[in-house]
Amino acid sequence: MIRINREDMLELTRRMTLKRNCFSRIAGAYMDGEGYVDGTFNTHFQKLSAPEREANLAIAKAIPFSETNVNLKEYRFAPENEKAGSTWQLLMALRECELKNDALLDVFYEVIGERYRTVGDYAVYFFYGSYDVPIKASDKESLWESEEVYKFLICAICPLHGDYEPGEPECGFLFPAFKDRSTDIHGIEVFDADALHPHGELVERILF
């Protein structure tokens, strides 16, 4: 298994607060138990009210903040699975457009609806964020100069309760992988709340 450095994940989550928010866009779909879309949304993150931003930050943060190498595991895309028409290509396109292309999002929701297995209605939440990665000095202190902007997607799949109220994420992912404080477009970090009963069908559909 590819090891994830927890310090990398904690560095990201420190930018997932109301005061230090790294997200610029949120999109998603409400799905019924059979995987059909009941409704979608797509908006600039800062247009949400403060309580809404706080609630959605908690959903996004749950993915990288989870226990590394137990609930959050890294996988690699094989070169042959990065071809045209692949899920990797779709994720790269969604990252490039910063979630502003609803047609691409609809394709992704179809991918999830076809394969994801759960009981009851659920929601797919998508976040686009960017992080100016500061240079670290030899003593590991930040110099606050940036050599790279890490642009990323977080997807969280949550059960729905009542009137479209999301519960805690069941699974999701961070793409591209954040490895050695840098972007790794050939890796993805996948989250499962229940590490003993993971959603293998999600990993299989994404990687192949």
Q: Note the pTM of the prediction, 2 decimals.
A: 0.92
The residue-averaged pLDDT of 120-132 equals 95
- The reply to whether 1 falls in a domain is no
Task: Confirm if 170 and 199 have CB atoms less than 8 A apart.
Answer: yes
Q: Which pLDDT tens digit goes with each residue over 45-87?
A: 999 999 999 999 999 999 999 999 999 999 999 999 999 999 9
Query: Using an 8 Å Cβ cutoff, are 158 and 30 in contact?
Result: no
Residue 160 lies in domain? 6-207
Band (37; pLDDT cuts 50, 70, 90): very high
What pLDDT is attached to residue 119? 84
Q: Is residue 53 part of a domain?
A: yes
Q: Do residues 186 and 78 lie in contact, with contact meaning Cβ atoms separated by under 8 Å?
A: no
pLDDT at res. 139: 53
pLDDT reported for residue 204: 80
Mean pLDDT for 148-171 is 93
> What end-to-end distance do the CA atoms of the chain give, in Å?
18
From 119, 124, 122, 137, select the one nearest 173 (Cα to Cα): 124
Mapping DSSP to helix (H, G, I), strand (E, B) and coil, where does residue 124 land? strand
Nearest to 193, CA basis, from 171, 173, 167:
171
| Domain tally, the chain | 1
At 11, which helix (H) or strand (E)? helix 6-13
Tell whether 58 is covered by a domain.
yes
Residue 171 has pLDDT above 80, yes or no: yes
Q: State yes or no: pLDDT of 113 exceeds 80.
A: yes
Average pLDDT, the chain: 91
Confirm whether 111 is domain-assigned.
yes
Angle, vertex CA 154, rays to CA 196 and CA 75, nearest 5 = 50
Would residue 137 count as lying in a domain?
yes
Give the residue from 38, 20, 17, 18 showing the smallest Cα distance to 28.
38
pLDDT value, residue 135: 80
* Tokens coding 77: 């895309």
Weakest-pLDDT range from 25-34, 135-144, 188-197: 135-144
